């Protein structure tokens, strides 16, 4: 069953989503060569808790940190560590959730650490733009397939691949709600979109092939071919006036 949020619930979600988006801005300010992923996680957690919110990911399914921090060929679900340091030229994916007053926001960004290669910079740009194209399709009357098709069609122009093993999802009172939101699909197919649906639209884009594998830690997902991967996500509300990017805080 797909939860449809009413006006009051959307107001509460906006608060959770604002904290989530702001936590990513705090992370961006802290990112530099030499910082450990554990220190970066601590900065994110401290900000969320300062806002009287709870880090959604902390303890979720046993995940041991407030943020997923994934580097280079790591796609998602990287576990922060005291002995893992960012270095010049890395690209780092930071995925954050904040639970506040019964609702959660979910968002991710890919950041450049110092100066990165042209290949890496192009992948980051294309992944963000693929999100924006997918989100633009999140309008009343469209279908889930319209979102995924918009993402996939765009990244294919660059020879990139979307990850198919992991997909976006509904988000609200729970971190993962129905429906699934793949980054591929057929226009006009899939679940119809109604006002009040809130979706985590999150392209995961590989510079090489689409295949991924999970490391022995049972969390971290990496590209099989070792190619770079980028991730861009916002919580998006379907409204009568078009998509609202609830975690897109400037």
- Paired with 245 in beta bridges are 236
pLDDT at 117: 98
Q: Domain holding 167: CATH number?
A: 3.90.230.10
Percentages helix, strand, coil for the chain, rounded to the nearest 5? 30, 30, 40
Mean pLDDT of 64-86: 98
> Can you tell me the mean pLDDT for 20-48?
98
Instruction: Determine the Cα–Cα distance for residues 77 and 202; give it in Å rounded to an integer.
Output: 13
Of the pLDDT bands very low, low, confident and very high (cuts 50, 70, 90), residue 250 is confident
Non-local (6+) Cβ contacts of 155 within 8 A are 126, 127, 130, 161, 162, 203, 205
The answer as to whether 100 is a domain residue is yes
**What whole-number distance in Å separates Cα of residue 97 and Cα of residue 100?**
10
Flag whether 2 is in a domain: no
Both tokens of residue 41? Answer: 């996680």
Any residues with CB less than 8 A from the CB of 115 and at least 6 apart, and which? 88, 89
The answer to the question of residue 233 being in a domain is yes
In a domain, 122, yes or no: yes
Between CA 187 and CA 12 the distance in angstroms is 32
Per DSSP bridges, beta strands 161-162 and 103-112 are: unpaired
The token pair at 171 is: 């988000």
Find the mean pLDDT for residues 18-25.
Answer: 98
Average pLDDT rounded to a whole number, residues 205-233: 98
Q: CA Rg, the chain, in Å?
A: 17
- CA 53 from centroid of its chain's CA atoms: 19
Q: What are phi and psi of 163, to 5 degrees?
A: -70, 135
What token pair was written down for 75?
């796609």
Domain-located, residue 250 = no
**Calpha distance 26→43 (Å, rounded):** 7
Is 79 a member of any domain?
yes
pLDDT in tens, 164-183: 999 999 999 999 999 999 99
Inside any domain, residue 157: yes
Q: Is residue 1 in some structural domain?
A: no
pTM (2 decimals)? 0.97
Any alpha helices (H) in the chain, and if so which ranges?
7-30, 37-50, 118-136, 144-156
Tell me how many domains the chain contains: 1
At residue 129, the pLDDT reads 98
User: What whole-number distance in Å separates Cα of residue 137 and Cα of residue 15?
Assistant: 24
**What proportion of the chain, given as a percentage, has pLDDT over 90?**
100
Q: State the residue range of the domain holding 126.
A: 7-245
Structure tokens at 23: 């936590």
């Amino acid at each position: 069953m797909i939860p449809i949020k009413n006006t009051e619930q959307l107001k509460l979600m906006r608060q959770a989503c604002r904290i989530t988006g702001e936590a990513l801005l705090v992370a961006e300010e802290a990112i530099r060569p030499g910082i450990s992923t554990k220190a970066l996680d601590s900065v994110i957690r401290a900000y969320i808790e300062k806002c009287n919110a709870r880090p959604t990911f902390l303890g979720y399914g046993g995940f041991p940190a407030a943020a997923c921090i994934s580097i280079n060929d790591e796609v998602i679900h990287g576990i922060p560590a005291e002995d893992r340091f960012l270095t010049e030229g890395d690209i780092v994916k930071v995925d954050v959730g904040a639970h506040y007053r019964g609702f959660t926001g979910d968002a991710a960004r890919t950041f450049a650490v110092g100066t990165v290669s042209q290949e890496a910079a192009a992948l980051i740009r294309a992944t963000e733009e693929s999100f924006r194209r997918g989100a633009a399709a999140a309008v009343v009357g469209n279908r889930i397939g319209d979102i995924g098709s918009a993402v996939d069609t765009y990244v294919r122009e660059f020879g990139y691949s979307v990850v198919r093993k992991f997909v976006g999802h509904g988000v609200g009172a729970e971190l993962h709600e129905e429906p699934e939101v793949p980054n591929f699909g057929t226009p006009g197919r899939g679940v119809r979109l109604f006002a009040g649906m809130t979706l985590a639209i999150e392209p995961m884009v590989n510079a090489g092939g689409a295949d991924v594998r999970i490391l022995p830690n049972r969390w971290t997902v990496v590209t099989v071919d070792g190619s770079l991967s980028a991730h861009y996500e916002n919580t998006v509300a379907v409204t009568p006036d078009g998509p609202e990017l609830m975690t897109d805080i400037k």
